[in-house]
Each structure stands twice: as structure tokens, then as C-alpha cells.
Amino acid sequence: MKPTGKAKERRLLLRRRIALTTGLIVATAILAVSAIAWLVTDDNLRGEVDQALLTRLPQPGRRGQLPKFDGLCTNPDSQPLQRFTEGVELFNPDGSVCAPSSLDKVVKLPADGAVTAPALRDGVTVSGVKVRVLLYPIGNGRVVAVSRPLTDIDNALNQLRNALIVTALLSVALAGTVALLLTRAALVPVERLTETVEHIARTEDLETPVDVTGRDEAGRLGRAFTAMTAALSDSRRRQRDLVADAAHELRTPLTSLRTNVELLARSEQRGRPLPDGHRAKIMASLQSQTVEFSALVEELVMLARDERELSRVEVDVDDVLARAVRRAGSRAGGHRFDVEVAPWQVIGDPPSLERLALNLLDNAVKFSPSGSTIEVRSAPGWLTIRDQGPGIPAEHREHVFDRFWRSPEARGMPGSGLGLAIVANTVMAHGGTVEIVEPPDGRGCCVRVELPVRPAARDGQEIG
């Protein structure tokens, strides 16, 4: 079973989407971490420069303070002075600047107005070098500017930036590759399941095995799909069997109806009407066959009814049996009913349960001699219906609940063979069991049905 082009395309798109999503997530995380690392490093390095500049401020009582800055204007290139004033400029109130001639002077400073307290600023020298500048007022409107280049910091930050970029690219590529490989491995069972589903959709072969195992989500999906296809296959088989059996059973009454109708039609067409007695016999036969045909169709509809259509309400089994006994008694002729039932309830569909009981009672009446007694017994969890007929041989009991099955003794009697099949289906839909049991005295046939008793209500709440 080879995957189709569309299936391959879907898998590739899914793999690429997962790999791309993983790469984007990793890239975003690395970008955030890199930005934080870069900002923290920049802040720490600048803090070290600022701290180094601040240590050069004159402090009261501190020995080795900076010398008088007037020398920067009178003798700026003095060797002794340059040892102490390296990177130092003096700004006069008139805007002139005093500094050694060898100094790369700071020419661009933020215009913050008069400097009244020590302040740190960013600046640029004549040669374009970025510097960090400490401005320190010394009185009379004069300000000392102590600068330190930021070249080392910029170089370090550039190296860090390059390292972070390379690391980010490698990490994203590695994450994308790993995600692609892991996705490919993880999608193998999903691909097999997809191929199986597409094969079933093309061929409608519900017997195709699903080759997906394991205890993970994919294995669970495979088991669920296997159960679904098994249920569908069983439903299709039962539907096919029902249609085949129905077609077989409907053929006989339809043939009989057609024969009688054609006989009447030919007699009318030839202008030779049938004798009144013969005609009345055919009409009675047609009426009887129509009734049987209608009953057969009704039973087929009941048999084909989906279990999901059944209601789930509280049902009083004793009331259901009482109604069924009244209906069966109205058409039973000389039969009597001996009823002993205890009150109990089930959760189920009332019409279906009444049909179950009525089918069992009708079956008992049909096979019992006139004037005999039909016994009906019931207690919580079970009910039995016993007739006084010939009984069912042990070798036939496993077939009595099959559709359209009729014992050799019953084939000459009216009926479709669906009554007990409907009983079995109804019992199964309600979670119960049905079987033929041996009567205590060995006479007649006894059918026992067991159904789950309605759970007791809790905390005063009704269960429906």
C-alpha cells in the first residue's frame, strides 16, 4: 500500500511546519536571551568605566588628589602635569578648553546647561572615538572633563554580538534538524494509519488490518480505529445478512401475492370471471397474505432498528408484562395466563420491552394447545414465560434466536421466524441475556430473560 501524492504532500507540509515552528521558537528564545546577555554585558562594562572615572574625583581627606588644573591652561604640555592629567580637559566659562596638545579632545558633549554637580556623559573626540566623560565642576564656572575611550567596550560587545549570532544560527539549524528528524519518526505510525484509511476509503475493504501498535497516542488512535472498522464491518455484515434473509423471506409471500393477482387479472381480461367460491377463496388468501406481509415488514423494521434510537427511561417491568398479557389475551382464544410478577424497574425503551414480552407470549400461545395455561413469572432481574407446547429439542435451542429460523415442526404454521430474533436483539440492546431453559417438570418450553435492575437512586436523585 503506497502513499498517494497528496498524502506525501501533507506529510511534508506537516514536517516542515513543525520544523519551522520549532526553529522560530528556538530563534525567539535565543534572540531574547542574547539581547538580555548583550544588554547586561554592556551595562556591566559601562558601569566599570563609570566606576573607574568616579574614582578619579577629588575626595576630602584623600591623599594623592589630582593637582591644580590651572596648569592645563598655563603649561598643558608639562611632563609632570601630563602624568596626572591624562585624558583631562578644563572647560572655562568663556567656552575655551585647556588640555595637553597630545590629547584627543572631546568635541561633542550633550548640552545640559551649566554643570553644578559631577555628571557622566557620552561624548565623541576629534578623531571620532566614542568616550565616556565625567564632568566635575571646580568653581568659578569652570568644569573639568575626564574622559575614557569606549573602544575596548565596543570591541568586546562586537565580539559578543558575533558569537551570539553564530550560536543562534547554529542552534536554530540544529533545533530545526532535530525537530524534523523527531517529527519524521513520530509521524511514522500516523502515516501508516493514514495510508490504511485512504486504502479503506478507496477499496471499502473494512477488513484491512491497521498496522499501528504501541502504548502512546498513535497506538491508542490505531486501536480506536481498529475497533471502529470492526464495528462498521460487523454492522455491514449484519445489514447484508438482514437484507439477504429479508429478500429470501419476502420472495415467497410476494410470489404468492403475484400469482393470485395475475390469476384474477387474467380472468377479468379474458371475460371469464372466476366462480364466486373460487374468487372469494382467492380474495381471502390475498387478505391473509397481505396481513402476513405487513407483519413481516413491521418485524423487519423492528429488527433493523438502530440501538441508538432506543430511549433510556425508567420502565416498570411489572406494568410492561401486564400490558403485554392483556394484548396477548385479547387474541389468544381459549388460553389462560398465570401471572406472578414482583415490581421492579429497568432503564430502557418501553415499546421495545413490551414488544419483547408480547413476542414471547404470542410464541407461547401459538405452540400451546387451546385451553392450556401460559405461566408468566418475574422478579427483580429476570422474567420467564413458559408454555404447554411440545418444547424445543436441545439440538435446536442454539438456533431459535436466529433470524428466520423455524423448527421443522413449526414450518407449517403461520409466522416469519423473526419474533425470537427481535427478542434477542432487544435483550442485547438492554444489556441482558435470553435463553431457553429446561422446565422443572420437563413439559413445554420456558424462555428466561435477564435484564439489569435499575440502580438505586442516591441522595434522593432519580436515575433516568
Q: Is the dihedral of CA 387, 392, 394, 400 positive or negative?
A: negative
Mean pLDDT (whole number) for 375-382: 95
324: cell is 403485554
Output 179 or 66, whichever has higher pLDDT.
179
Q: Name which of 2-11, 145-154, 241-250 the model is least confident about.
A: 2-11
> CB 146: neighbour CB atoms within 10 A?
24
pLDDT of residue 175: 84
Nearest Cα residue to 197 out of 238, 226, 236, 239: 226
The pLDDT of residue 320 is above 80: yes
461: DSSP letter? B
Indicate the residue type of 245.
D
359: left (phi over 0), alpha (psi -120 to 50) or beta: alpha
The pLDDT of residue 443 is above 80: yes
Nearest-angstrom CA–CA distance, 464 and 389:
39
Mean pLDDT (whole number) for 369-398: 88
Q: State CA 209 to chain mean position distance.
A: 22
The pLDDT of residue 31 is above 80: yes
Percent of the chain with pLDDT over 90: 15
User: Mean pLDDT over all residues of the chain?
Assistant: 78
Mean pLDDT (whole number) for 454-461: 52
Mean pLDDT (whole number) for 303-331: 82
Q: State CA 46 to chain mean position distance.
A: 55
Polymer length in residues for the chain: 464
pLDDT of residue 459: 38
pLDDT tens-digit series, residues 264-294: 888 877 777 778 788 888 888 788 778 767 7
pLDDT of residue 80: 45
Indicate the residue type of 452.
P
Mean pLDDT (whole number) for 409-434: 75
pLDDT of residue 456: 63
Phi, psi for 108 (deg, rounded to 5): -125, 110
Using CA atoms, how far residue 59 sits from 54, 63, 90, 135, 384, in Å, is 10, 9, 18, 15, 112
**CATH 1.10.287 domain range(s) in the chain:** 217-302
**CATH 3.30.565.10 domain range(s) in the chain:** 310-450
Mean pLDDT (whole number) for 135-154: 82
Mean pLDDT (whole number) for 123-144: 82
The pLDDT of residue 415 is above 60: no
pLDDT of residue 272: 76
Instruction: Please state the pTM of the whole predicted model.
Output: 0.47
Percent of the chain with pLDDT over 70: 78
310-450: which CATH number, 3.30.565.10, 3.90.120.10, 3.40.50.300, 3.40.1160.10? 3.30.565.10
387: DSSP letter? -
Tell me the CATH number for domain 217-302. Answer: 1.10.287
Mean pLDDT (whole number) for 10-23: 74
Nearest-angstrom CA–CA distance, 175 and 169:
10
The pLDDT of residue 322 is above 80: yes
The pLDDT of residue 69 is above 50: yes
Mean pLDDT (whole number) for 198-224: 79
